[in-house]
Structures are given as structure tokens and as C-alpha cells.
Structure 1
Amino acid sequence: MNKYWISEIFTSIQGEGEVIGTPSNFIRLAGCHLRCIWCDTKYSWHKYEGKLLTIEEILSKINVNIHFTTITGGEPLLQDILPLVETLKSYNHTVLIETSGTIKPPAKLRELVDIFSVSPKLSNSGYKFKYNFKDDDWATYYKFVIVNPIKDLGEVVKFVEENNINPRKVILQPDGRNREYIKSLRDLTDIVLQLGLPFRVLPQLHRIIGVQ
């Protein structure tokens, strides 16, 4: 019987990325191998602080009227989520996986998952990774957290060039910890326009409307 370490399960709207505003069930898996400075879900870092639930127990906690489910974390690809995704797909769910991009999903999972929302970590996270998507671009889109626009945007441009990424797949969003969030969103937009960058700037909608 498949069991998963779960941090929380709730229903809200998707607050970011290409599906922003979409009603979604959220299954947040517990456990992460990263410790990003600006992480807003630090309570999901440690696996054993979650609850061990079966697929049936997980399904009993989601909204059956919503057929869009986001599996997030933590880092969901640390656990074997294939059986969970297979079950959700059998109930005609659109499945979105939110991941750091540091773990490549297996082929079968890639066939089933509808959307891979990949958040590569810039140096503002406290990490410096060498990603390789040039030969295998499995992400549906990329989201970057921008803390220091001038410095961070340079890293985004380098990532796009080195990995031969379609700029239309790149989404920028300000650091959600910023108390002047709307101003930071406006400032980021202004700089992107000034630099003539082809990337999309999107908010974290849940920051603005005050939902989970």
C-alpha cells in the first residue's frame, strides 16, 4: 500500500504560473532537500513532521468537485508519486507538479502529468546549481523568484541562453516576503520593460487577495 508523507491538503486557487487563478486541490508533500532563504513553506522541509497517509486518505481530503490538483512541497519528486498521480488521472484530474527542477521525473510520470511548474533556484536562494535542460526540456514553464532585479535578471538571462529555453516559458515573480509586494511587482515590471526582456511578469495572486 502506497503511503506519502503529507504536510497539508487544502483547496484554493492556483496563485502563480500559467494557471494563475485556477481553482485547485493542493497536496503538499513533506520533505525537501533544499533550504532556500526565501522559502515560505519551511514547515514542509522535514518529512517526519508530516503525516503518513494512504492514497485513499489523501483523496478523502480533497474537493471532489474540483478536477485540478497541484502536488507541491517540499519537493514532491523526493517521493514516488507515480501511484498517486495515476489515481488522480483515473478520476480525470488535471495534475500539476511544482518542483525545483533538481530532480528529473521518470518517463512514466512525465507521460501522465499535465503540467510541470519548475522553479530553478537563483543564487538569491542560497544555492548555485548548474541546470541542464538544453538536451531535455521537460518543464512546462519556469518560475523565477526575483529579489534583486538587476542581479537576478542577469542570472535568468544566462539560464535561458545556456539551456536554449523559449523565453515564452519564463515567468518572473517578486519575492513574496516583501511587505511592499505591489511596489516590488511594479518595480520588477519597470525593469523588465527598461531592459527589453521578453519574459512574463506575474504576481503571486494569493499574496494580493489573502488566501492560502
Structure 2
Amino acid sequence: MNLTNYKINEFFQTIQGEGSYTGQPSIFIRLQGCPVACSWCDTKHTWDIEPSLEISADKLLAKSAETEQWSDLSVDQILTLIVQQKFKAKHVVITGGEPCMVDLTPLCQGLEQAGFSTQIETSGTFEIRTTDSCWVTVSPKVNMRGGYEILSSAMKRANEIKHPVATEQHIDDLKSLLLQHKVTTTPVYLQPISQKQRATELAIASCIENDWRLSIQVHKYIGIE
């Protein structure tokens, strides 16, 4: 029995819309808590952990809107909920918030032992503690209000790098990061911020120029969570 607990804001099944796993049916586990403070963050409701907003697993599953409420669940409880919800996906995406604020090894071990593949989406500002087989997506957040630096260990552990872009400065920041951390073979995805035309055109041109890949947040275009 694994008694490690995680503070979870959302728990749902959908289609992965970003990066290498685009199109993959996935179970998303969104953790509560993030100090990075990205200006364009679309999950600001996950930033703070307010003890008074803790709810039961049943209420978590019944949430119909984004809220700051969260539920404290063990690995065994999470596995039980997957069965109870009759989720069919065999791929689990652990996101946030900033999931790497906590040790994700017990959660990924439990999921993988139950037959799931695992993926973490992280800003690269915290040590990545997980299993060797977990797919790690690092979306490096440079010069955010929280003041956290991108860790070399995170860049080296990344299976893919997914970088949000809106301006030429974002491209320059990414090139500097790749050079600084000697990243040469890891797949790089550019993701236009908020699907704006200018950002999308910049991302396309930069992908062609640098032999990178495009990630366009398919789930937002087709209108799913």
C-alpha cells in the first residue's frame, strides 16, 4: 500500500493536445500549487494552496468549473478513482500548477505498475523526481515573476522541450537555454501563446528555420478540456 498523498485540483479524461503525445487519450491529474507565476498562465486557479478549500474526492470529480478547490489523495485512492470512473485511457499526464514541487516517483511507480504510461509537464524550475520510464515535458519558463531559474538537471532529463512563444524574445530565450544547457538532440516544440495569429506565424517560421516542431494546443481548437 502506498500512502503518499498529492493535492489534486482536477482529475479527468480527455485527448492530449500538445507535444509528442498529441492525439493520445489521456487521464489528466492536475496538482495544486505553483510559485512560478507565468503572466499568461491559463490555470492561475492552481497557484495557491488554501487549506480551507480542501474538498472530498467526490466533490473533486463533480467540479464543473475551474476553482481553487483541491483534494488530498493517496496513490491508491487515485488508482481506485480511475477504475470507478471507468476511464479507458492508458496514458496519464501529471500537470499543474507545478507538479515537480513534490516527489512524483511514488505516483508514477503506482500508475506504471498498474499498466499506465506516465508523463509530467513541468516548468523546469524544480528538481524532477520520477521514474526512469516517465516521459518528461519541460516547458521552460524564463524570467517569470516568481524568480525561479531553469535547472540544468531538468533540461537534461527532458524527453521533449515545449516552449510557449509570442515574441522574438521568446525565441532568443529558448536558443540561449539550449546553448547554455548543451541541448542538441531533444525534440523542441514551439507553442503559440493563446493561438494568436502573430504568435502562430512566428512559431511556424521559427520551426522551419531551426528544424523544430509545432505544438498548437489541438484541444483548444476542437473545444475540449
Partner residue in 2 for 1:17 = 19
Identify if the C-alpha distance between structure 1 residues 135 and 23 changes in structure 2 by more than 3 Å, giving closer, same or farther: closer
> Is 1:157 paired with 2:186?
no
How many pairs were matched up?
A: 202
Partner residue in 2 for 1:189 = 204
Structure 2, unpaired ranges of 5+: 51-68
Q: Which amino acid aligns with 1:111?
A: D
Q: Residues of 2 paired with 1:192 and 1:157: CA distance? A: 12
Q: Residues of 2 paired with 1:129 and 1:70: CA distance? A: 23
Mapping 1:44-193, distance limit 5 Å: 44-48=46-50, 49-62=69-82, 63-106=86-129, 109-113=130-134, 115-123=135-143, 125-126=144-145, 130-133=149-152, 137-148=156-167, 150-166=168-184, 169-176=187-194, 178=195, 181=196, 184-193=199-208
Q: Residue 34 of structure 2 contacts residue 96 of structure 2 at CA under 8 Å; is this kept in 1?
A: yes
- Structure 1 outlier segments of 4+, above 6 Å: none
Q: Residues of 2 paired with 1:199 and 1:65: CA distance? A: 32
Identify if the C-alpha distance between structure 1 residues 187 and 132 changes in structure 2 by more than 3 Å, giving closer, same or farther: closer
1:17-75, CA deviations, whole angstroms, 9 ceiling, x for partnerless residues? 11111100001111112111011111111223411122233223334422110111111
Q: Secondary structure at the match of 1:56?
A: helix
Q: Secondary structure at the match of 1:32?
A: coil
Q: Residues of 2 paired with 1:130 and 1:46: CA distance? A: 20
Aligned-CA RMSD value? 2.3
Q: Residues of 1 paired with 2:124 and 2:41: CA distance? A: 15
Identify if the C-alpha distance between structure 1 residues 130 and 56 changes in structure 2 by more than 3 Å, giving closer, same or farther: closer
Q: CA deviation at 1:118?
A: 0.5
Q: Residues of 2 paired with 1:135 and 1:44: CA distance? A: 22
Give the alignment's TM-score, normalised by structure 2. Answer: 0.80
Partner residue in 2 for 1:30 = 32
Q: Secondary structure at the match of 2:190?
A: strand
Identify if the C-alpha distance between structure 1 residues 146 and 52 changes in structure 2 by more than 3 Å, giving closer, same or farther: same
Q: Residues of 1 paired with 2:155 and 2:10: CA distance? A: 32
